Amino acid sequence: MKIFGHYIPLPFLALACVDFVVVALAVYAAAYIRFSPSVFQVHIASGLVLSRALLVASVVSISVLSMGLYQSRFRARPLSVILRIVSSILGATTFLVVLFYAYPPTFFGRGVLFISLAFSFAGLLLVRAVFYRVVDMDLFRRRVLVLGAGEKASSIMGQLRRHSDRRGFQILGFVPVSGEPVRVDAGQVVSTGMALPEFIKQNKIDEVVVAVGDRRRDLPMSELLDCRLNGTEVVDVLGFFEREVGKIRLDLLLPSWLIFSEGFQSGASFGCMKRMFDIGIAMTILAVVWPLMLLTAVAVFLDGGCRGPVLYRQVRVGRDGRPFRIVKFRSMCPDAEKDGKAKWATSNDSRVTRVGAFMRKTRLD
């Protein structure tokens, strides 16, 4: 699914909805445990439980979102998932406590809050344990056939090496095109032996990825059109990469793709709406995670022996070649780039501090 020009994998959109419901139900369970049945029924009738459940679920969901747990490219290592959920719960707890004291009408009781957040933590872990098992099942993965077996086709397997990169689909094979040398493993080459639409129908293919080096030669346009008319998705290899890994392969890029791409909308009204949306989302996330940011800043300061900067600034290049500064929490020692030259981080980099290593795992930096 594409929302605001960005690909949102349906499984992760469903995961976000399930998380919201789980947290809301955790509030109901906590209220039932904390109050007597008669008082609980009164709160239900007055809508008090529902309003607090929606509030807590919204705050926790935003906190989980800020931790990157809804990114399809997130590497689902158990420890990393646990750390990010813990960080999310801590951030949501701090925000809700501050909100309760700043605006007393939202208060619902400390007991209900902490019980519901404990249930939420357990529920979020359980949901993910089930989710990652389900999305890895072939039953829930798109069946993909690649048209082409040359350089472009081989780049698919080269780029999508990790299992998590192929979580939403399975490649059934590569169909070679005449005049193009085969660059993929022989065991992955598929000989259809029939018309492409018939082969797709028999093998229940959901999507065809066109990865042909030269489309002007022997591209079966009529068969691809029949596939589209039969309901099979047909996508270009660049669009496939953009959707699955969120990147554009520059070595495969053609000027025609840039000209016809959907990602270059402009205009004063569009720019104004986009800017307002960006600021609104950023302020919403900031309102939830600022307590966690404050704790992170203190941890960086103490870890550095109460010396050195807490923040790290770096110049990047933005639209129209204009430079801008990004600001992150410092995760390396203060003299990591003492010669003034940027250096790529490496695995087990000795310049990364203890707090910095934790921040990088949880994306707090």
Its pTM surpasses 0.75: no
In the chain, the domains with their CATH numbers are: 2-135 (no CATH), 141-260 (3.40.50.720), 268-362 (no CATH)
Orientation angle between helical segments 78-102 and 354-362, nearest 10 degrees: 90
Q: Which of 10, 11, 113 is nearest to 53 (CA)?
A: 113
Please report the DSSP string for 74-141 in residue order.
----HHHHHHHHHHHHHHHHHHHHHHHHHSGGG---HHHHHHHHHHHHHHHHHHHHHHHHHHTSGGGS
- Tokens describing residue 327: 């600001």
- Tokens describing residue 92: 């949501």
pLDDT tens digits in sequence order for the chain, 365 residues long? 555 555 566 777 888 999 999 999 999 999 888 888 887 787 777 788 888 899 999 999 988 888 878 876 565 577 878 888 988 898 888 888 888 888 888 887 888 889 999 999 999 999 988 887 776 666 667 888 998 888 888 888 777 665 455 667 888 889 888 878 888 888 888 888 888 889 998 888 888 998 887 766 667 888 889 988 888 888 888 888 877 777 777 777 777 777 666 666 667 777 788 888 888 888 888 887 888 888 888 888 888 777 778 898 888 898 788 999 999 998 888 776 666 666 677 677 778 888 888 888 777 77
